[in-house]
Every structure is written in C-alpha cells, then in structure tokens.
Amino acid sequence: MSAHRQIQDFLVAALGAAPDLTDGGVFANTLDPLPQEVDSQIVVRLLGTAAPPQQILSGPYDWTTQFVVEASKRVPQGSDPVTTIDSLIGSVWSRISELPAQLVGLGVLQVILQPSITWEVERLDTLVITSTLRLTVQHRTAATTLEAA
C-alpha cells in the first residue's frame, strides 16, 4: 500500500476513534452528500502530492501531500449554521493537532496544519454546513516504490 494511502487511512482512523466526533462516521474520499439519516460526518480527502523535481537517483523521495478534512453537520431549522458546526470543527482541529508524533512510523517528516478553515452552507433536504481544514504532510518513500521509507 502506498504511503499516501497509509497516511490517509491513519487520519481516518484517528478522527474516527472513540469518543466519536460524529454520528455518521469518518470516511475517505467520498463525494456523496450527507445522508439523510445522519446529522454529521467527516471526510478525509487526498487532494494531491508532489515531490521536488530533482531527486537523487536510487534515493528516497520526499513528498508534500495535501489532505482535506471536511466536517459536515445538518443545521436544525432556525439555527445559525456556523454556531451549529463550531464544536465539531473545534474537536476535529484538536484531534488533528495531536497527530504529528503518532505519524512518524509512516515515513512522515513533518505535519503542517494550515491555519485556514472554510465554511460552506448548502441546501440539500435541509441546510448542511461543511467546514474544511487543509493538512500538509511531508513524508518519505522508498526509491523504487511508493511505500513509506
């Protein structure tokens, strides 16, 4: 399995660990809207990755991989969307902030939590607000595979 997917799986597992942050679970890469039967969920999406153009032949590759963590919550009628998701996004931020030390075994060199959060409200069967965090992970893979080095 590629280091990219291993890191993503680790993020999904960490955000899905007890105590649960959502009633709808934590998923990887889904583009499906928030299901009607749940009030909240988290999606960890692999956005992209790049290695510097000049690498040592037969040496390891150092990657900079972007992940997006989207926390979505159904807005009760008459409620303010930002207030509705405030505690969930705070919990996601706290949990991600604790992760860097745990990622070292996956070839991770550095985790950068970008100080940027976006909020987006969409009308589905009800109002749904999604807060998005961006996470940059610098990690190393072996010379001839995409496995963690």
Q: What's the CATH number where 77 sits?
A: 3.30.70.1700
Is residue 41 scored above 90 in pLDDT?
Answer: yes
pLDDT tens across 64-90, in order?
A: 999 999 999 999 999 999 999 999 999
Residue with more model confidence, 24 or 114: 24
Residue 84 lies in a domain: yes
Mean pLDDT for the chain overall: 90
Residue 147 lies in a domain: no
**Type of residue found at 25:** G
Residue 148 lies in a domain: no
Residue 15 backbone zone (phi > 0: left; psi -120 to 50: alpha; other: beta):
alpha
pLDDT tens across 100-132, in order?
A: 767 777 888 888 877 788 999 998 778 999 999
Return the DSSP state at 63: E
Residue 116 lies in a domain: yes
**Type of residue found at 40:** S
Instruction: Report residue 45 as tokens.
Output: 């999406």
Residue 146 lies in a domain: no
Residue 106 lies in a domain: yes
Mean pLDDT of 49-55: 82
- Residue 94: CB atoms within 10 A of its CB come to 10
Find the domain containing 116 and state its range. Answer: 3-51+59-141
For residue 138, name the pLDDT band (cuts at 50, 70, 90). very high
Phi, psi of 4 (to 5 degrees): -60, -50
Tally of domains within the chain: 1
How much of the chain is in helix, strand and coil states, percent to nearest 5?
25, 40, 35
Residue 126 lies in a domain: yes
pTM: 0.90
